[in-house]
Amino acid sequence: MELLVHESPEAVADAASKRVADLISSATPRFSLGLAGGTTPEATYRALRGRAAGWANVDAWLSDERWVQPDDDRSNGRMAAAAILDHVDATFHRPRISESMLPEDSAAYYEAQLRSIHNDGKPPDLVMLGMGQDGHTASLFPNTAALDEAERWFVANHVPALDEDRLTATFPLLWSARLLMVVVVGASKAAAVKASFDKTTPAGHLGDGNAEVEWYLDQDAASLLV
């Protein structure tokens, strides 16, 4: 695990976007890029515009999605498209969501899609993640069933604290990645960052698998770390 602390949210977005651009630009033949929702990753995506070469080789997908229509303002896919993927030549794989589907059906279809991208045992190259004030990452919320999933890559996850359904990558998928990049800013996240480094949150268990984990924090988010 590597901790990278920067002076400001803008500096975090700049450093994280440069890291992503360097990885994409040097990738052959295909690059699997998992994307997070949230305002902090969005700033990184915007900083990434025009920075990387080789977008035509990128398969982009979502580490989680809200159970809302694809054009809803709360959709992670809608945000990722507007922030970066409408502006580059990557292939964007989004979950199927419709009123005629159940979340469990959508998650199963999406898992099949992801397994086809990562055939022959190819791991995800990079998964970008954020973290909530409760220490959740992707849609792996505290005290939810998806935390205990041991085989599936992508599942529907009901979040009682929000009274809503989410679709989320599971630990088996995240742990299989080459690199997990966790981008967190703001004093409101400082307690969750400390708890995560103490391994008492879902985000704190990202390092339990084979993936390298890099935390990109601003000074406020890192303020409680010794």
Q: What distance, in Å, lies between the first and last C-alpha atoms of the chain? A: 16
The model's pTM: 0.96
Q: List the structure tokens of 139.
A: 């849609």
CB 142 within 8 A of CB 135: yes
Whole-number Å distance between alpha carbons of 21 and 123: 19
Beta bridge partners of 33: 60, 126
pLDDT of residue 74: 95
pLDDT in tens, 132-180: 999 999 999 999 999 999 999 999 999 999 999 999 999 999 999 999 9
Q: For residue range 28-83, list pLDDT tens digits in order.
A: 899 999 999 988 999 999 999 988 889 999 999 999 999 999 999 999 999 999 99
Average pLDDT over residues 99-105: 94
Is 217 among the domain residues?
no
Cα–Cα dist 131/54, whole Å: 28
**Position 120 pLDDT exceeds 90:** no
pLDDT at 178: 98
222 occurs within a structural domain: no
What's the burial of 68, exposed, middle or buried (CB within 10 Å: 0-12/13-18/19+)? middle
Instruction: Look up residue 43 and give its two tokens.
Output: 């700033």
Element (H, E) at 215: strand 212-218
Domain boundaries, position 147: 2-204
Dist. CA 56–CA 68, nearest whole Å: 28
Provide the residue type at 128 as one letter: M
Tens digits of residue pLDDT in 176-225:
999 999 999 999 999 999 999 999 999 999 999 999 999 999 999 999 99
Does some domain include residue 82?
yes
Residue 219 maps to a domain: no
Tell me, yes or no, whether 212 lies in a domain.
no
Structure tokens, 208: 């339990």
β-pairing, 91-93 vs 58-62, is parallel
Residue 118 in any domain: the answer is: yes
| E strand or H helix at 155 | strand 154-159
CATH number, residue 160: 3.40.50.1360
153 found inside a domain: yes
CB of 68 closer than 8 Å to CB of 103? no
Is residue 52 a part of any domain in this protein?
A: yes
Predicted confidence (pLDDT) per residue in 122-132, tens digit: 999 999 999 99
Beta-bridge mates of residue 128:
181
DSSP per-residue letters across 59-120: EEEESEEESS-TTSTT-HHHHHIIIIITSS--EEE-----TTS-HHHHHHHHHHHHHHHTGG
